[in-house]
Structure 1
Amino acid sequence: MSKLKKLVKATQNIISEPSLLNLVLDENSVREQEHFQKYPNLKTLPLLSFDELLGVPLDVDVDLFVLDGGSLPTDIALLKSLAQNKKNYFEIGTWRGESVWNVAKNIDNCYTLNLSKKEMMDLGWNPKYAELHGVLSKKNPNIKHLESNTKTFDFKSLNQKFDLIFIDGDHSYEMVKHDTEKVFENLMHENTIVVWHDYAYNPEKVRYEVFKAILDALPTEFHQHLYHVQNTMCAVFVKGNFKTKTFESPKTPESLFKITVKQNSF
């Protein structure tokens, strides 16, 4: 099909179904250009390796379902490793509860905030999808499951600061910016570490809608503490002096991860 015919066909489809235009506007390449217009000198975050961030090579076991919408093993390994010697943890976005489940092996005081089943049903979401939220994390009675929309949740009501925070809720620009602002306004102390999931679609492809939201939510002086943790889909805010590398794609491999897969019934 010629480019002209494709254009005509696409125009006809958009006229008949205007919502299809959102797919074009949300295309990552479009978001990338918007990002570059505002941040021409910050096209990606600097890469931070596990051993540089943690001070030792990555060595941790994680529990995963390995199903749609989940995290990479390295994403969960990052959180669980950062949780060592921390006292409290807060996350936005539960899904099946794999992240907080793993973190709770190292931290007793864990909170997770997610929409209630009723709110998800009211939004017209798949009932089974709503039902499966927290299917793993709710097996740990020590994990505190908070049910609310972050738009209306009173973060001050928690009345505490957290050592490690994971932002993994709605990944639209508006909500990432909102959730980031609320976290930094209410839940941070001097040495809090914040991790954002889906800063990247995969370890080699930045998700610019999320990236721009993070930058826009934070004061410019905080940008120097932002990194892309290598071999993950995560960005991290952490203070310290680190040796970093420049993002590249395709990436020349530097680490070979040994993954032992052991299946257990759930």
Structure 2
Amino acid sequence: MGKLGKLWKAFTSIVRQPSLLNLIIDTNQNWYKYVEKRYGLGAGLPVAELSTLFPDFRANIPTFAFLDGGSLPTDIALLMKLAQRIPDCSYFEIGTWRGESVVNVANIAKECYTLNLPDEEMRKAGQPENFIELIGFFSKDKKNITHLKGNSFDFDFVGLNKKFDLIFIDGDHHYEAVKNDTKKIFESLVHDKSVVVWHDYARSPEVVRFEVFAGILDGMLPQRHRYLYHVGNTLSAIYYPSEALAKHPLINPTKPNHYFELDLKLNPIVKKK
């Protein structure tokens, strides 16, 4: 098929199904160009290693499912280690899914809050009941976790009348949602020493997800950007204002300078009577 034929086929396909245009607009390459042109950050955030944040890094993760849509073990370990160093840590999370992240943090933090879409809104969006029932699967019965329902685009964050020490943004990963969540968090929930972590800033520890990155950058004041890092061996970006961290550029492929030791144990889910 010639160029004109391909162009005509693409045009007619978009006319029949306009949503196909999003596949063109939202490509990682287009978001890379946006970030590079606007911020000069086409190479991604500088990398701060886990060993920089935690020189004697070691973590035990009591609950991990190894299922689709979850975090890497290193992402959850990052949250746990951050909570560990904050006395009486107050934690807030957007996007809970099965509740793996928050249930592990709740073993350390004094109090945890999560925000998820109302069940009815998920139904209207076409989510099946078995998906909705899994929201907070691991976390719903933990006493120091408050599960809030609402859409972050119109949720009254100010009404919480609280500031949080550690915040995890892991909701909708489209640009507008990431930008909105970031903006709202910094406007309403952050204090001077708050640490903010965004999940899925990267598709893998070596590949930046530029649509999410663009939402992070556009959702916060430019003067805060100097406190942003990509945490090595994770999918997470971090806002860490307490101190300047040693950093290096992201290199893909990365030559390892350390490795992790895993000790896995399988535990059955005990059904409640």
Give the TM-score taking structure 2 as reference length.
0.91
- Asked if 1:238 corresponds to 2:240, the answer is yes
**Structure 1 residue aligned with 2:251:** 248
Q: Alignment partner of 2:21: what SS?
A: helix
1:249: Cα distance to partner? 0.8
Q: Which shows bigger deviation, 221-230 or 15-24?
A: 15-24
Q: Which shows bigger deviation, 109-118 or 135-144?
A: 135-144
**Structure 1 residue aligned with 2:184:** 182
Mapped to 1, the partners of 2:62 and 2:24 lie a distance apart of: 37
**Structure 2 residue aligned with 1:98:** 100
Mapped to 2, the partners of 1:83 and 1:2 lie a distance apart of: 58
**Structure 2 residue aligned with 1:143:** 145
Mapped to 1, the partners of 2:23 and 2:83 lie a distance apart of: 37
Once the two structures are superposed, residues 5-44 of structure 1 have per-residue CA deviations (whole angstroms, 9 ceiling, x without a partner) of 6655544433432211211111111111122111125631
* Runs of 5+ unmatched residues, structure 1: none
- Asked if 1:258 corresponds to 2:261, the answer is yes
* Closer/same/farther in 2, CA of residues 3 and 170 from structure 1, 3 Å limit: same
**Structure 1 residue aligned with 2:77:** 77
Mapped to 2, the partners of 1:77 and 1:11 lie a distance apart of: 47
Mapped to 2, the partners of 1:8 and 1:62 lie a distance apart of: 55
Mapped to 2, the partners of 1:124 and 1:41 lie a distance apart of: 36
1:167: Cα distance to partner? 0.5
1:241: Cα distance to partner? 2.2
* Closer/same/farther in 2, CA of residues 88 and 14 from structure 1, 3 Å limit: same
Residue number among 118, 121, 125 corresponding to 1:119 in the alignment: 121
1:2: Cα distance to partner? 7.4
* Closer/same/farther in 2, CA of residues 4 and 65 from structure 1, 3 Å limit: farther
Considering only aligned residues, what root-mean-square deviation do their CA atoms show, in Å?
1.8
Pairs aligned (count): 266
Give the TM-score taking structure 1 as reference length.
0.94
* Runs of 5+ unmatched residues, structure 2: none
Mapped to 1, the partners of 2:17 and 2:244 lie a distance apart of: 51
**Structure 2 residue aligned with 1:107:** 109
**Is contact 1:194-1:238 (8 Å) kept?**
yes
1:3: Cα distance to partner? 7.0
User: Which residues in structure 2 correspond to 1:54-69 (within 5 Å)?
Assistant: 54-69=54-69
**Is contact 2:93-2:113 (8 Å) kept?**
yes
1:64: Cα distance to partner? 1.0
**Is contact 1:45-1:247 (8 Å) kept?**
yes
Mapped to 2, the partners of 1:3 and 1:73 lie a distance apart of: 46
